[in-house]
Homo-oligomer: A and B are copies of this chain.
Amino acid sequence: MATDDLSKSFAALADPTRRAIVARLTLGDATVSELAAPFAMSLQAISKHVSVLETAGLVVRRDDTHRRPVHLRSETLTGLTDWITRHQRQAEERLGRLDDALAATSEEPSSASSRRTP
């Protein structure tokens, strides 16, 4: 079950409609009606997707007018890329060390073979 914040954010992005909503919000705040426009979906269905994004901390509904525009919280996205890149860096550093070790090993037999007499 996705109870922690990172799990909720990753789960929220695991849907093409919700990713399309995030992509639309990068262009500016939008109401649910505006967000629904490109989709063959009910306002209720889009509103549900927005609620999932809101619970995940990816968007916030601005309550200053009755139109309630939805706003993207870009900093939550940063948390996701931070997690991924931190672990990728760790894997790459390990592969770098492995490459160095392999290079050191492959130098050995080649110098041995050059010493070999025909």
Contact = CB atoms under 8 A, between A and B. Distances in A.
Interface of A: 2, 4, 6-11, 13-16, 19, 22-23, 25-28, 72, 74, 77-78, 80-81, 83-85, 87-88, 90-92, 94
A53 to B, nearest CB: 13
Contacts of A94: 26-28
Contacts of A84: 13, 77, 80-81
A2 B17 CA distance: 10
How many copies of this protein are present in the complex?
2
A19 to B, nearest CB: 7
B11 A14 contact: yes
A91 B9 CA distance: 18
Which of A4, A11, A87 has the most CB atoms of chain B within a 10 A radius of its CB?
A87
A87 B83 contact: no
